[in-house]
Amino acid sequence: MCFYHHLINRVASMVQQYTAGLNSCGHFFNLVSENWQQFLPIFCSTGGKLTRQTFRGLFLTDWSPEGSNDREEEEETIFQYDDWLIKVEEFSHKLCNNNDTNMLCKQSNTTYMPTEGEVDATFEDLLVFVTGADHPPALGFPSKCQVHFFSQEPGTRRLPYASTCALFLYLPRGVREEEDFADLMSTALVGSLGFGKV
């Protein structure tokens, strides 16, 4: 009886007030209750797996002016970034079971250890790094995520970083080697601790 009171009776008046408020706007709560399947993608995350195409669609790139030295270095970095995203997609496919198409791969029971040269990250890991969320919100982000660039100081090694408030990913300009870029991204992702989503 105590359990029933805390679970049902204690919140009943709040739920009634909430539904009455929604129904005061054209019987909206009744409409949602009767057609809940149509409203499901609006109110809940469908939990679909991110692909390279959907992930890239979340981002805009902030380029330097065409023809500048910075632009050439940014194009080199983006080439490595796109190549790295292809490897992330390959890793995600190996990590997932064929039956897990509607679930996030890391939540499956599959255990896959990457071999040397493979990327040990998923698109969900990268999205957590950039936004703090492991999947896009049901109604989308308030603005497109952006890729910005920074210049490396001679003799230093700065890691890629993100501003989760602004939804910005900062990548170093002029990374020409695939292994260098993969190492930078891997170190940055591992060092970020994923907002406690370990």
The token pair at 195 is 């907002």
Q: Which of 2, 44, 145, 165 is catalytic?
A: 165
| Sign of the four-CA dihedral 113, 87, 153, 158 | negative
First to last CA, the chain: 37
Sequence-separated (6 or more) residues with CB below 8 Å from residue 45: 135, 137, 138
How many Å apart are CA 198 and CA 176, to the nearest integer? 31
Does the annotation count 165 as an active-site position? yes
The token pair at 161 is 């970083």
Residues tagged active-site = 165
